[in-house]
Amino acid sequence: MNIGIGKYSFEGPLDDPSELRNESGVYAILGRPTIHQLWRLVDIGGSEDVKKRVENHERKYSWKSLGYPYQSYAAYYCHSDDHSTIETELRGLYDPPCGDR
C-alpha cells in the first residue's frame, strides 16, 4: 500500500515502525484524530536507516502527545543524497508540528 505525500509515493501507512525497512530514505510520521479522518503529517525526516531512526527517535513521545490516537508510519526509500532536499520540500509544503521549523 502507498500513500502520496507531496509528489512522492511513500510505502505505508504502516501500523508499526518494525514494518519499515533498514534502508536509506525519508520517513513520515502520520496521525489522525479518528479512524474515519485523513492522515496528517506529524513529522518528517531522512536517515541512512529509516527503521532504526524511527524506532529510536528522540521525538517519538512528542508524536504521541499531539492528540492523534491513530498513529502510522510511511517511508520513501531513496539515495542518501536526496534526504535533505525531499525533507525540506515536504516540510515547507506541510509544516508538520514536530521537528525543525
Residue 55 is predicted with a pLDDT of: 95
Residue 61 is predicted with a pLDDT of: 83
Stated pTM of the model? 0.93
Residue 100 is predicted with a pLDDT of: 66
Which mean pLDDT values do the consecutive 10-residue runs of the chain (101 residues) have? 96 96 97 93 95 92 86 96 93 89 50
SS (H, E, C) the chain: CEEEECCEEEEEEECCHHHCCCCCEEEEEEEECCCCCCCEEEEEEEECCHHHHHHCCCCHHHHHCCCCCEEEEEEEECCHHHHHHHHHHHHHHHCCCCCCC
Find out if CATH 3.40.1440 is the number for domain 2-94: yes
